[in-house]
Amino acid sequence: MIFEPESECLEREAMRDLQGRRLRALVAYVDQRVTHYRDALAASGVRASEIRGVDDITRLPITRKSDLRDHYPFGLLAVARRELRRVHASSGTTGKPTVVAYTADDLELFARVNARALAMGGAEPGMMLHNAYGYGLFTGGLGLHAGGERLGLNVVPVSGGMTERQLTLIEDFRPEVICCTPSYALTLASELQKRGVAPDAISLRYSLHGAEPWTDGMRAQIDAALGVRSTNIYGLSEIIGPGVSNECVEARDGSHIMEDHFYPEILDPETSEPVPEGGEGVLVLTTLTKQALPLLRYWTGDITSLTREPCPCGRTLARMRLIKGRTDDMLIIRGVNVYPSQVESVLARLPALAPHYRLVVSREEMLDEIEVHAEVTTEWLAASDARSDDGSVALGHASARELCGRIVSLLRETIGVSMRVQLLGPGQAPRSEGGKLNRVLDRRPAR
């Protein structure tokens, strides 16, 4: 179903006109209310009155995460604190957390875009949503919760972790829709398999996954293991949280951006200039309708591309491809740019490997190196007779050496660089317990 056809199916010319009007109002709004933007516009030599439409957006300053941290906690607010109704924050893994805030109207927008996202993913009023995203300062749980209620779903606020309880509720409550990280979906699928629960015995029909990069190979594994049709949901707390975009369940060919509220650009990661239509670069988003924390041209750091080609679902919203990686995640291995998601795509092509792995990054003689720790399936280990007494892989066994060689060759042929490979036994790679799973172990010395 299409939740808001009057917006999601708007003709391109009408959408551009709407975006232009909202951009003009936004620039005037931040110029009046946010000292940082008033100064940034002046430094760029731009007057708010000169912005006439989206063609002028490249004249506006770019906002980066450092700007939010430099004005921690509330220095970028465009409203008085008494007008706020909620505050969220990032995990703050590097220094101060990134703080975001919402007025009552912002929370209404948050619910609407998440209702759209859930409908894009196949949810319909009356269905039950098993929401396994974390509740709290993280935006995922509460954002999708409000969106589910707005769409007319029966929301089960399970939150993350406590996997045994999650499985019991899925089996007993029989929800049709689930939201969680893709890595946690695989954890749930693995545990259901251990219980002897077949995919066709699970009530789930649709699943929405995000908050961490994933691949089409991982999607195929989730679909098969849970008996669902999974879609990618994208968002980031600085913009609003989840609900910035979502794939439609009909095509699953790029995530529809709620571009009447979030204007997208793709910029060259080196020059910050716009790339040609369909080109790959950094996703930059402008919040067209937010009140508490509006952002001009926010540099997400996520590498993707856009298409505005018609979609079979009938929506006219621009679509973004699956995130290839982040500019700060990119590794340079002997002169070749490598994203962890590229390695994952290669591993997913080998039936002998489970969808669990870890990348160990080290530095040797000033160059970054990756060692791929790939987990084998129980079936391969049994068939290959390469099992050690402790359940790990006997790395010296001929079958293990052959599989390692295949992985090394495929990585080199696909990505263009040689990587060391170590095989792990079943259950030895890290598993998600509901939150984001960090698949990269960085052993490089601090600079």
> 78-82, 290-294, 324-328, 440-444: which has the minimum mean pLDDT?
324-328
Confidence band of 91 (pLDDT split at 50, 70, 90): low
Question: Strand pairing partners for 265?
Answer: 284
What's residue 279's pLDDT?
97
| Rounded mean pLDDT, 136-158 | 96
Q: Looking at the predicted structure, is the pLDDT value of residue 62 above 60?
A: yes
Average pLDDT over residues 193-217: 93
| Rg of the chain, C-alpha, whole Å | 23
Q: 207 and 226 in contact (C-beta within 8 Å)?
A: yes
DSSP 200-257: GGS---EEEE-SS---HHHHHHHHHHHT-EEEEEEEETTTTEEEEEEE-TTT-SSEEE
Give the whole-angstrom CA distance, residue 127 versus residue 34: 42
For residue 282, the SS3 value is: strand
pLDDT tens across 21-36, in order? 999 999 999 999 999 9
Count the residues in the chain.
447
Is 386 a residue whose pLDDT tops 80? yes
Choice between 132 and 445, residue whose per-residue pLDDT is larger: 132
- The CA distance from 378 to 384, in Å, is 10
pTM of structure: 0.83
In the numeric block, the tokens 């209620």 are attached to 149
What is the pLDDT averaged over residues 98-106? 96
pLDDT digits (tens, 9 = 90+) for 405-415: 999 999 989 88
Q: Which amino acid is at 229?
A: R
Q: What average pLDDT does this structure show over 208-234?
A: 93
User: Cβ contacts of residue 314 below 8 Å, gap of 6+?
Assistant: 2, 5, 9
Q: What angle do CA 167, 168, 169 make, to 5 degrees?
A: 90
Give the residue-averaged pLDDT of 155-174.
95
Which pLDDT value is given to residue 92? 47
pLDDT, average across residues 107-133: 98
Cα 375 to Cα 380: distance, rounded to the nearest angstrom: 10
pLDDT value at 95 more than 60: no
Residue 97 pLDDT grade (very low, low, confident, very high; cuts 50, 70, 90): confident
Q: Using CA atoms, how far apart are residues 430 and 346, in angstroms rounded to an integer?
A: 19
What's the confidence (pLDDT) of residue 94?
A: 44
Backbone angles phi, psi at 45, to 5 degrees: 70, 30
Q: How confident is the model at residue 431 (pLDDT cuts 50, 70, 90)?
A: confident
- At 93, is the pLDDT very low, low, confident or very high (cuts 50, 70, 90)? very low
pLDDT for res 424? 93
The answer to whether the Cα torsion of 320, 370, 437, 192 is positive or negative is positive
Provide the residue type at 402 as one letter: E
Q: Which pLDDT band, with edges at 50, 70 and 90, does 311 fall under? A: very high
**Quick one: which of 283, 274, 263, 277 has its CA closest to 327?**
283
Residue 52, pLDDT > 90, answer: yes
**Peptide bond before residue 73 is cis, with ω within 30 degrees of 0:** yes
**Mean pLDDT over each residue of the chain, to the nearest integer:** 92
Instruction: Write out the two tokens for 352.
Output: 């002998």
Both structure tokens of 240 = 């609003």
When pLDDT is averaged across residues 220-245 and rounded to a whole number, the result is: 96
For the cut 60, the answer to whether the pLDDT of residue 138 exceeds it is yes
Across 143-154, average pLDDT: 98
Q: Which segment of 97-111, 170-184, 325-339 scores lowest on mean pLDDT?
A: 325-339
- pLDDT for res 111: 98
SS3 73: coil
Residue 200 one-letter amino acid: D
The 10s digit of each residue's pLDDT in 357-381 is 999 988 776 567 889 999 999 999 9
pLDDT score of 314 more than 60: yes
Q: State which H helix or E strand residue 7 sits in.
A: helix 5-8
In which element (H, E) is residue 47 found?
none
Q: Which H helix or E strand runs over 393?
A: none
Out of 256-270, 271-285, 313-327, pick the least confident: 313-327
Q: What is the mean pLDDT of residues 215-242?
A: 95
Q: Which residue has tokens 């790959």?
A: 280
The better pLDDT of the pair 139, 335 is held by 139
Q: Please give the residue that has the higher pLDDT: either 330 or 335.
A: 330
- Confidence band (pLDDT; 50, 70, 90) for 326? confident
Contact by Cβ (8 Å): 288, 19: yes
What gap in Å lies between CA 208 and CA 187, rounded to an integer? 15
176 close to 226: Cβ distance less than 8 angstroms:
no
Which residue ranges form the domains of the chain, and what is each CATH number?
1-326 (3.40.50.12780), 331-442 (3.30.300.30)
Burial class (CB in 10 A: 0-12, 13-18, 19+), 289: middle
- Name the amino acid, one letter, at 45: G
Please give the Cα distance from 381 to 391 (Å, whole number): 9
Alpha-carbon gap, residue 399 to 380, rounded angstroms: 10
pLDDT at 181 over 60: yes
- Using the 8-state DSSP alphabet, how is residue 296 labeled? S
pLDDT exceeds cutoff 80 at 327: no
